[in-house]
Structures are given as C-alpha cells and as structure tokens.
C-alpha cells in the first residue's frame, strides 16, 4: 500500500467511524474480496459465503468505534470471518465438503500455473477439518505468518504450525496418491 493509499484508507475509516455511510461503503468495497474469498473457501457454498460476508460487515458497522487502524481492521475482519465460518461448519457437522462445481468458474481466477491443479487444490482444502482449513487459508490466501494466524484464531502457534505441516502432507499425499513406505523394525538400542 502506498502512502497515498494508506492515507485514503485511514481517511475512509475515520469518516466511517463518524457515521459517514459512503465511507463505510468504501471500506466494504476495499475489503469485500478478502472477506468473501475467505468465507467461500471455508464454506464451499456461494450463497452461504455471501450471507456470512454480509454478516461480517454488518457486525463491523456496529463495532467501528473499536477499530483503531487499518491494520486492526484487517485483523478484525479475518478473525471474525474465520470464527463465524468455523462456527457454521461445526453447527452443520459436515466436514466433507464437495469441491466447487466445475461449470461455474469463479471470476478473477485466471492466473499462471495449472488451473486444473488449482481447482483440485481448492477441492482438497475444502475437505480439511474446519480449524486446519482456516489455518491453510490464512497462510496461503491471506499470506499471514504462523504467529499472526495464532493471534487471529486464538490458537497456540505450535498448533498452527502443526495444522500447516499436517495439512500440506495430506494435500501432497492426495495429489500424488502415494502411501508412506513402511519402515522395517529395528533392534536399535533406545537412548
């Protein structure tokens, strides 16, 4: 973010806090992609994702006085979106999510790399348990480091690292379709 962008962001936040509806709409437009994308990849359902994303911004509107800065705002949005999504997933008690349908390509997904592999990855991520899914999305979609993820999800940082490690292993296994090679027993003396 350039200095000019930062100034503009702070300006919109300050005006929204003082009740400026147009400034609040500017904030929504600025952050809607991040919030919606996180909700979508957590819930794997566009309708539910929009519903959740709307709720996040409605809550933000009621809590604007508590938001101190643009950085705080980003943290707050990620935290509330993750929490609400995890709560919803747990209420539904469904951890096996279907991949997104192939005949509805999402906007802005044209990128370098293998689109089929990327779609497969999104489908596999949708099958992770709720907490692990949130950790993976905050890492690779929102580009947070483990300590930041730990703060957002209120989780020990070692638990975050464990989720990341296990999830990547699982993704790799599913992609390559290989099982681990068994280790032969040994009679090495213990320590």
Partner 1 sequence: MSDDLEKQLREALRHVDPPPGFAARVSARTQSEQRHRWLAARHRWVPATLAASVLLSLLVAYGWQLRHEREQGLAARQQLIEALRLTGEKLDLAYRGVQDASKPAVPPDTGDT
Partner 2 sequence: MRASLSRLLLMLVLSLAGSAAARAADARLMLPEFHTLEAKASESVSVTLDSSLLAMAARFLDPNRPEDAAARQIIAGLTGIYVRSFTFDSDFAYPKEDVASVRKQLSAPGWQQLVQVRSRKDHNDVDVYVRVEGDKTNGLAIIASEPREFTIVNIVGAIDLQKLHELEGHFGIPQLKLDDKK
Binding site for partner 1 (CB under 8 A): 21, 24-25, 28-29, 32-34, 36-37, 40-41, 46, 49-50, 53-54, 57-58, 61-62, 106-109, 111-114, 117-119, 121-122, 125, 136-137, 140-141, 143, 155-156, 158-159, 162, 168, 171-172, 175, 180-185
CB of 163 to partner 2, least distance (A): 4
The answer to whether the beta carbons of residues 12 and 27 sit under 8 Å apart is: yes
Which residues inside 40-99 make contact with partner 2, applying CB under 8 A?
A: 90
Characterize 108-121 residue by residue with b for buried, 16 or more Cβ atoms within 10 angstroms of its Cβ, and e for exposed: eeeeeeeeeeebeb
> Residue 11: which residues within 8 A CB-CB, separation 6 or more?
23
How many residues sit in the footprint of partner 2 (CB under 8 A)?
A: 23
Residue 5 CA to its chain's centroid (Å): 24
Q: How far is the CB of 62 from partner 2 (least distance, A)?
A: 23
Which of these ranges, 10-18, 20-28, 113-121, 124-132, lies near partner 2 under the rule CB under 8 A? 124-132
End-to-end, the C-alpha distance of the chain in Å comes to: 53
């Amino acid at each position: 973010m350039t200095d000019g962008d930062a100034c503009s962001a702070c300006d919109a936040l300050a005006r929204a806090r003082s009740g400026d509806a147009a400034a609040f709409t500017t904030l929504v437009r600025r952050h809607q992609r991040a919030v919606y994308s996180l909700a979508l990849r957590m819930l794997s359902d566009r309708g539910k994702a929009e519903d959740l994303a709307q709720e996040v911004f409605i809550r933000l509107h009621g809590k604007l006085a508590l938001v101190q800065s643009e950085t705080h705002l980003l943290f707050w949005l990620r935290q509330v979106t993750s929490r609400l999504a995890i709560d919803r997933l747990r209420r539904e008690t469904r951890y096996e999510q279907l991949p997104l349908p192939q005949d509805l390509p999402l906007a802005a997904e044209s990128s370098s790399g293998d689109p089929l592999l990327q779609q497969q990855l999104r489908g596999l991520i949708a099958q992770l348990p709720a907490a692990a899914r949130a950790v993976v999305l905050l890492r690779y979609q929102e580009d947070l480091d483990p300590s930041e993820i730990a703060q957002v999800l209120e989780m020990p940082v070692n638990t975050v690292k464990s989720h990341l490690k296990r999830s990547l292993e699982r993704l790799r296994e599913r992609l390559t379709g290989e099982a681990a090679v068994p280790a032969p027993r040994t009679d090495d003396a213990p320590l």
